[in-house]
Amino acid sequence: MKLMHLIPLVTLATAVYAAPESFDFKDPKGINNVAFKLDAPLESVNGSASGITGTVSFDPDSPGAATGKIVVASESLTLPNPMQKEHLHGPTWLDVTKYPEITFEAKSLANAKTDGNVTTADATGSFTLHGVTKEITVPVKFTYLKDKLSARVPNMKGDLLVIRANFTINRADFNIQKGKYEDKVSDEINLSLSIAGAAPQP
Amino acid sequence: MKKILQAFALLVALAAAILWLATGANRGWTKTSVPIKTLDAVTGLEGVTYQAKFLPGVDFLGAALGGAALLAGASFFFRKQKQ
């Protein structure tokens, strides 16, 4: 077989056996964030967290097989009111010294639908908050941006993966002031995840 | 002393009310930072950063008005100076 005939075969084999890309969610731009909201009588408690790390394995040819783990540093949770922030970080609420991380480890995706570079799915995995781990299912939206890393980080080639998710948890499920102060702050916590990860290529 | 306390109470109440109104009459809690949203053009994500800014809320106004009322109330413990 001539060398010229081998090239298409090698290309085909590479495409068929293309490994999923590993996206790193450590964000040098400081854009990645998780916004949280709890209803309260005077005004809702709105804050965000920016200390996000983690990796997601994503194959653009098989988006429904994505898995990964996202970690949020509890210490990075911020509120505009200093007293509320102190209470949130303190031992009676999140106890960030004892429980420094909030994690979500996606184990499987269901109902994956892909339209162009956008995939929506229901991700099931382990959510750990305040030392309590529960299996939850959250709707996620992946946007695969091929060769867009250089547009964000000059002199770096690679792809970007944007993940958005919006879901609600109950603080009582995670032993956070269970059954207490529900007249002052809701049991439900709305979480909105907006993150982008990079898969650099040599 | 009575008049000094009453004048001081009025000053505290007015200063707090003017500051509260001038900073946008925030009907929520007092904040020491405000979120600033930035859009990442490549990913379309909206990032949040916090800028240090004092934004008095109803707790600040209530505490200031309460303090002014205490001062005004305390002034009644002083007798009017005889001429």
Residue A13 confidence (pLDDT)? 47
For B:6-65, CB contacts with A below 8 A are 27-35, 38, 40, 42-50, 55, 57-58
Cβ-defined contact of B38 to A78 (cutoff 8 Å): no
Is residue B21 included in any domain, yes or no? Answer: yes
Measured between beta carbons, which residues in chain B are less than 8 angstroms from residue A46? 35
Write down the CATH superfamily of domain A26-201.
Lipid/polyisoprenoid-binding, YceI-like (2.40.128.110)
Cβ-defined contact of B43 to A33 (cutoff 8 Å): no
Q: pLDDT digit string (tens) for A55-113?
A: 999 999 999 999 999 999 999 999 999 999 999 999 999 999 999 999 999 999 999 99
Taken in order B28, B30, B35, B36, the sign of the CA dihedral is positive
Is residue B32 included in any domain, yes or no? Answer: yes
> Where on the phi/psi map is residue B65: left (φ > 0), alpha (ψ -120 to 50), or beta?
alpha
> CA A14, A18, A19 angle in degrees (round to 5)?
140
pLDDT of A15 over the 70 cut: no
Residue A5 confidence (pLDDT)? 58
Domain hosting B48: range is 2-75
Q: pLDDT digit string (tens) for A114-162?
A: 999 999 999 999 999 999 999 999 999 999 999 999 999 888 999 999 9
Measured between beta carbons, which residues in chain B are less than 8 angstroms from residue A84? 29
Contact A49, A41 (CB under 8 A): no
pLDDT of A6 over the 80 cut: no
Q: pLDDT digit string (tens) for B4-57?
A: 889 999 999 999 999 999 999 999 999 999 999 999 999 999 999 999 999 999
pLDDT of A11 over the 60 cut: no
Q: Which residue has the tokens 């965000």?
A: A48
- Domain total in chain B: 1
How far B61 CA sits from the closest chain A CA (Å)?
Answer: 14
Q: pLDDT digit string (tens) for A149-201?
A: 999 988 899 999 999 999 999 999 999 999 999 999 999 999 999 999 999 99
Is residue B12 included in any domain, yes or no? Answer: yes
Of B27, B34, B43, the CB nearest to A80: B34
Query: How long, in residues, is chain A?
Result: 202
- What mean pLDDT value characterizes chain A? 91
Pick the residue from chain B with its C-alpha nearest to A148.
B42
| Alpha-carbon span A128 to A197, nearest angstrom | 21
Nearest CA among B35, B20, B16, B65 for reference residue A45: B35
Is residue B83 included in any domain, yes or no? Answer: no
Is residue B82 included in any domain, yes or no? Answer: no
Quick one: tokens of A21?
Answer: 């890309």
pLDDT of B72 over the 60 cut: yes
Residue A16 confidence (pLDDT)? 46
Cβ-defined contact of A42 to B44 (cutoff 8 Å): no
Q: How far is CA A66 from CA A23, A110, A158, in A?
A: 11, 10, 18
ipTM over 0.90: no
Cβ-defined contact of A152 to B32 (cutoff 8 Å): no
- What mean pLDDT value characterizes chain B? 92
A153 three-class SS? coil
Is residue B80 included in any domain, yes or no? Answer: no
Cβ-defined contact of B47 to A32 (cutoff 8 Å): yes
Is residue B81 included in any domain, yes or no? Answer: no
Nearest CA among A134, A189, A197 for reference residue A166: A189
What are the backbone angles phi and psi of residue B36, rounded to the nearest 5°? -115, 125
Start-to-end CA distance of chain A, whole Å, equals: 31
| Alpha-carbon span B56 to B46, nearest angstrom | 26
Of B33, B42, B44, the CB nearest to A80: B33
